[in-house]
Amino acid sequence: MPSEQTNAEGRFGRIDAPPSERRWTGLGAAAPILAMLAALILVAATGFSQRSAVPEAVEPWIFGYFVQRYPLFAFALVYGVAHLAGVAAGPGPASVPRRLLFGLAGAAALAGAGLYPTFGGLILRAGFATGGMAFLTHQPLWLAYGLGAGVAAFVFGTILGLSAIAANRPLRPRLGRIGFGALAFLALWFGAGLIGLAEPFGLGPWPRRSLHPDEAGLAALLLVAAALPHALLATTRRHPRGA
């Protein structure tokens, strides 16, 4: 029926999507991970660390507790911005001005929430405060860590999701978005918990010194494993029937 086809297209994108659009969907899912890995390769290849000469204005973003405790969060921000860029540039109902305006605004909001006033921003501080309070109330360390990771993922995902909707999604509320939002949150929660364990996994003291090749390889594996559930979920949302 026409109405059912319209609803399906509005919710999932074109069910009879041509091969070129399917290729775009696959590329759109892979692009944020590739951008994240490209940033990691650039950091490793240039030997960038806290010993590198940087402008004074940049120092709050490469020094401090959060950059030493959660260094891979920097690449999570790259993933988020690249994801928004892919949503804004991909198939959807939005006009070009709307894509540009809300895509750029969403990227700026995500970067601000992750970097202001220093590295970690509101995102990591909210997670750290939640986990710290849970631990101080005698909760097990694993539970406190999980709660903190969940709050950080919630803040990150809320900015990411609302920005994606504003940039290039149908604005009419749909019940299906609740289920997808819950799955996206779980995927981001998993990713947040994983990248926070970089040091116990053996990442080393970066950014206090430059990344060694083996550490860069480990960081790449952790980043891909952390981002893959969310990236796959974004792909299945656009074409759930494999069309």
Q: Kindly tell me the burial class for residue 172, based on how many C-beta atoms sit within 10 Å of its own C-beta (0-12, 13-18, 19 or more).
A: exposed
- pLDDT tens for 180-193 read 999 999 999 999 99
The pLDDT value recorded for residue 234 is: 85
Percent of the chain at pLDDT > 90 equals 67
pTM comes to 0.86
The widest CA-to-CA distance across the chain, in whole angstroms, is 64
8 A C-beta contact, residue 33 and residue 227: yes
The pLDDT value recorded for residue 3 is: 40
Rg of the chain over Cα atoms, rounded to whole angstroms, equals: 19
Distance of CA 43 to the CA centre of its chain: 18
The pLDDT value recorded for residue 11 is: 41
The pLDDT value recorded for residue 23 is: 55
What's the DSSP call for residue 95? -
Please state the domain extents for the chain.
21-238
Read off the amino acid at residue 192: A
The pLDDT value recorded for residue 17 is: 47
Listed as ranges, residues in the chain with pLDDT below 70 are 1-28, 237-243
The pLDDT value recorded for residue 59 is: 85
